[in-house]
Amino acid sequence: MKTVRLHSKGPEVTTLCEILAGMGYPVMVSDVFTIAVDEAVKSFQSDYNLVVDGIVGVKTWSRLFEKNSTLTQYNDKLLSEQDLIDFANDYQVELACIKAVNEIESSGKGFLIDGRPKILFEGHVFWQELERRNIDPQAYIRPENQDVLYKKWTKKYYQGGSREYERLAKAATLIPGFNLTDAAHASASWGVFQIMGFNAIPIGYDSMDSFVGKMYLNEREHLTAFGCFLKTNNLIGALQNKDWTTFAYRYNGEGYKVNQYDEKLARAYQKYTT
């Protein structure tokens, strides 16, 4: 892990936040080293007899890993270079393209430090999933449900890390006595390539349970799901041609412009080609 500090940004900061949150420090999981993260780091350093400077270097990383034995649970679940090479060859797509999507979609990381696949719950999709099941979402709009049920997309309620599972569980039990697990799973994006759950059956999985079960296994299964999604949605050509605008729009929807998803992919691609 590289050294990070206040205002740093990147996947290392995400991992730092996950560890701190898992230990009970009050931080939101994101890739930005905020003032709240700085305060949590200093509290950790004070609690474990380290120099209190807010800088997460070798010594602080070592102590963080030492206090979290669960960090080794998912080592055998990770993608290898050869996995990506084989995928690129099978789909006749440049390796740098696959690496770019791998990096931008989830900072190249498909699992949380506790071994569960990385997810992001989308309340607007949950709204649509309820409608598909002939349930009127309007009937369940309450202040306590506003973070899991809303009509239009917003990132306002994103929590990141393991807290996304709390949102998913809350959605699954939104209606007492009614099992909404499939609807909740369909409303989350899963793994390295953040495939939305509602794609499971259309891209070839027997059921939602089968898809989710595969997502828990390893990142190679995430890569397999990505390939199925590309084939089903005719997106292989966009990657072959490095048509990032088309790929971004059809992979992430209209919101790609706001997030500059196409520009991020283009920059990541250039990095990997050099």
Map residue 187 onto helix, strand or coil: coil
What residue ranges do the domains of the chain occupy? 11-72
What are the beta bridge partners of residue 9? 32
CATH number of 11-72: 1.10.101.10
Q: Where are the beta strands (DSSP E) in the chain?
A: 119-121, 188-190, 195-196
Burial class (CB within 10 angstroms; exposed 0-12, middle 13-18, buried 19+) of 148: buried
Mean pLDDT, consecutive 10-residue stretches, the chain (274 aa), reads 90 90 91 95 94 92 82 70 95 95 81 89 98 97 96 92 94 95 98 96 97 96 97 96 95 83 94 90
pLDDT for 108 equals: 66
Please give the Cα distance from 193 to 199 (Å, whole number): 13
pLDDT for 137 equals: 97
What are the beta bridge partners of residue 56? 4
Query: To 10 degrees, what angle do helices 81-91 and 219-232 make?
Result: 20
145 and 123 Cβ atoms separated by less than 8 Å:
no
Query: Residues with Cβ < 8 Å from 152, sequence gap 6 or more?
Result: 124
pLDDT for 193 equals: 94
pLDDT for 212 equals: 98
> What's this model's pTM, rounded to 2 decimal places?
0.79
pLDDT for 115 equals: 84
Please give the Cα distance from 109 to 78 (Å, whole number): 8
